[in-house]
Amino acid sequence: MLEAHVADELLAAARQARERAYAPYSNFAVGAAALCADGRVFGGCNIENGAFGPTVCAERVAMFSAVAAGCRDIRAVAVVGEPERLLTPCGVCRQVMAELAPEAEVVMEGGGERLVMTVAELLPEPFELRTERGRTTR
Protein backbone atom coordinates (compact mmCIF):
# COMPACT_ATOMS: atom_id res chain seq x y z
CA MET A 1 0.00 0.00 0.00
CA LEU A 2 1.32 3.40 -0.98
CA GLU A 3 2.13 5.54 2.06
CA ALA A 4 0.21 8.83 2.29
CA HIS A 5 3.32 11.04 2.13
CA VAL A 6 4.53 9.19 -0.99
CA ALA A 7 1.12 9.65 -2.63
CA ASP A 8 1.22 13.36 -1.69
CA GLU A 9 4.66 13.78 -3.30
CA LEU A 10 3.61 11.90 -6.41
CA LEU A 11 0.46 13.99 -6.79
CA ALA A 12 2.55 17.17 -6.36
CA ALA A 13 4.80 15.98 -9.21
CA ALA A 14 1.71 15.30 -11.34
CA ARG A 15 0.32 18.77 -10.63
CA GLN A 16 3.68 20.30 -11.61
CA ALA A 17 3.72 18.27 -14.84
CA ARG A 18 0.16 19.41 -15.60
CA GLU A 19 1.45 22.98 -15.85
CA ARG A 20 3.48 21.93 -18.92
CA ALA A 21 0.53 20.36 -20.78
CA TYR A 22 0.09 21.24 -24.44
CA ALA A 23 -3.68 21.24 -24.83
CA PRO A 24 -4.66 24.03 -27.26
CA TYR A 25 -7.60 22.04 -28.71
CA SER A 26 -9.35 20.64 -25.64
CA ASN A 27 -8.07 23.16 -23.08
CA PHE A 28 -8.03 20.15 -20.73
CA ALA A 29 -4.61 19.93 -19.10
CA VAL A 30 -3.64 16.66 -17.41
CA GLY A 31 -0.55 15.81 -15.39
CA ALA A 32 0.83 12.47 -14.30
CA ALA A 33 3.82 11.09 -12.47
CA ALA A 34 5.29 7.59 -12.43
CA LEU A 35 7.22 6.31 -9.41
CA CYS A 36 9.92 3.73 -10.03
CA ALA A 37 11.03 1.14 -7.49
CA ASP A 38 14.37 2.95 -7.14
CA GLY A 39 12.59 6.18 -6.08
CA ARG A 40 12.89 8.10 -9.33
CA VAL A 41 9.79 10.04 -10.39
CA PHE A 42 8.97 10.83 -14.00
CA GLY A 43 6.41 13.50 -14.82
CA GLY A 44 4.23 13.59 -17.88
CA CYS A 45 1.63 15.91 -19.36
CA ASN A 46 -0.87 15.46 -22.15
CA ILE A 47 0.40 16.59 -25.53
CA GLU A 48 -2.25 17.25 -28.15
CA ASN A 49 -1.90 17.41 -31.91
CA GLY A 50 -4.18 18.98 -34.51
CA ALA A 51 -4.50 15.62 -36.24
CA PHE A 52 -5.85 14.25 -32.91
CA GLY A 53 -4.57 10.67 -33.47
CA PRO A 54 -1.02 11.54 -32.41
CA THR A 55 -2.26 13.06 -29.13
CA VAL A 56 -0.72 11.35 -26.08
CA CYS A 57 -2.11 11.22 -22.55
CA ALA A 58 -0.10 12.37 -19.54
CA GLU A 59 -0.03 8.92 -17.98
CA ARG A 60 1.60 7.38 -21.04
CA VAL A 61 4.12 10.23 -21.31
CA ALA A 62 5.14 9.63 -17.67
CA MET A 63 5.40 5.84 -18.04
CA PHE A 64 7.18 6.04 -21.41
CA SER A 65 9.68 8.51 -19.94
CA ALA A 66 10.35 6.12 -17.06
CA VAL A 67 10.87 3.18 -19.39
CA ALA A 68 13.08 5.26 -21.71
CA ALA A 69 15.27 6.08 -18.69
CA GLY A 70 15.65 2.39 -17.85
CA CYS A 71 12.94 1.93 -15.24
CA ARG A 72 11.33 -1.48 -15.58
CA ASP A 73 9.54 -1.49 -12.22
CA ILE A 74 6.91 1.25 -12.01
CA ARG A 75 5.33 1.08 -8.57
CA ALA A 76 2.77 3.89 -8.72
CA VAL A 77 1.21 6.36 -11.13
CA ALA A 78 -0.54 9.58 -10.11
CA VAL A 79 -2.93 11.49 -12.36
CA VAL A 80 -4.56 14.89 -11.95
CA GLY A 81 -6.75 16.97 -14.23
CA GLU A 82 -9.01 19.87 -13.47
CA PRO A 83 -8.98 20.46 -9.71
CA GLU A 84 -12.78 20.45 -9.66
CA ARG A 85 -13.28 16.79 -10.62
CA LEU A 86 -11.72 13.40 -10.12
CA LEU A 87 -9.99 12.12 -13.25
CA THR A 88 -9.40 8.44 -13.98
CA PRO A 89 -7.13 7.09 -16.72
CA CYS A 90 -8.60 6.36 -20.15
CA GLY A 91 -8.84 2.82 -21.47
CA VAL A 92 -5.67 3.09 -23.57
CA CYS A 93 -3.67 4.27 -20.55
CA ARG A 94 -5.12 1.46 -18.44
CA GLN A 95 -3.95 -1.07 -21.03
CA VAL A 96 -0.46 0.46 -21.10
CA MET A 97 -0.37 0.37 -17.29
CA ALA A 98 -1.36 -3.31 -17.39
CA GLU A 99 1.76 -4.01 -19.45
CA LEU A 100 4.31 -1.54 -18.06
CA ALA A 101 3.14 -1.30 -14.43
CA PRO A 102 0.94 -4.32 -13.69
CA GLU A 103 1.57 -4.24 -9.93
CA ALA A 104 1.28 -0.46 -9.58
CA GLU A 105 -1.13 1.57 -7.55
CA VAL A 106 -2.85 4.46 -9.30
CA VAL A 107 -3.53 7.63 -7.31
CA MET A 108 -6.19 9.95 -8.68
CA GLU A 109 -7.20 13.27 -7.18
CA GLY A 110 -9.73 15.97 -7.92
CA GLY A 111 -12.91 17.56 -6.65
CA GLY A 112 -11.71 17.23 -3.07
CA GLU A 113 -11.52 13.48 -3.50
CA ARG A 114 -8.60 11.04 -3.62
CA LEU A 115 -8.95 7.56 -5.04
CA VAL A 116 -6.27 4.86 -4.97
CA MET A 117 -6.74 1.69 -7.00
CA THR A 118 -4.50 -1.02 -8.35
CA VAL A 119 -4.01 -1.38 -12.08
CA ALA A 120 -5.82 -4.73 -11.85
CA GLU A 121 -8.83 -3.00 -10.28
CA LEU A 122 -8.85 -0.39 -13.07
CA LEU A 123 -8.51 -3.02 -15.79
CA PRO A 124 -9.36 -6.51 -14.52
CA GLU A 125 -9.02 -8.31 -17.86
CA PRO A 126 -6.25 -6.66 -19.91
CA PHE A 127 -5.36 -7.72 -23.42
CA GLU A 128 -2.29 -9.96 -23.39
CA LEU A 129 -0.41 -11.69 -26.16
CA ARG A 130 -0.18 -15.39 -25.43
CA THR A 131 1.98 -18.20 -26.75
CA GLU A 132 0.60 -21.58 -27.78
CA ARG A 133 1.13 -22.82 -24.22
CA GLY A 134 -0.85 -19.97 -22.71
CA ARG A 135 2.12 -18.08 -21.29
CA THR A 136 2.14 -14.33 -21.61
CA THR A 137 4.77 -12.93 -23.95
CA ARG A 138 6.17 -9.50 -23.31
Active-site entry in 9, 19, 59, 121:
59
Strand ranges of the sheet holding 105-110, from the earlier edge strand across to the other edge: 41-45, 31-36, 74-80, 105-110, 113-118
Task: Respond yes or no: is residue 109 known to be catalytic.
Answer: no
Distance set, CA 25 to CA 14, 28, 40, 47, 51 (Å)? 21, 8, 31, 10, 10
Q: Measured between alpha carbons, how far is residue 38 from residues 6, 45, 59, 116, 129 in Å?
A: 13, 22, 19, 21, 28
Q: Which residues are catalytic?
A: 59
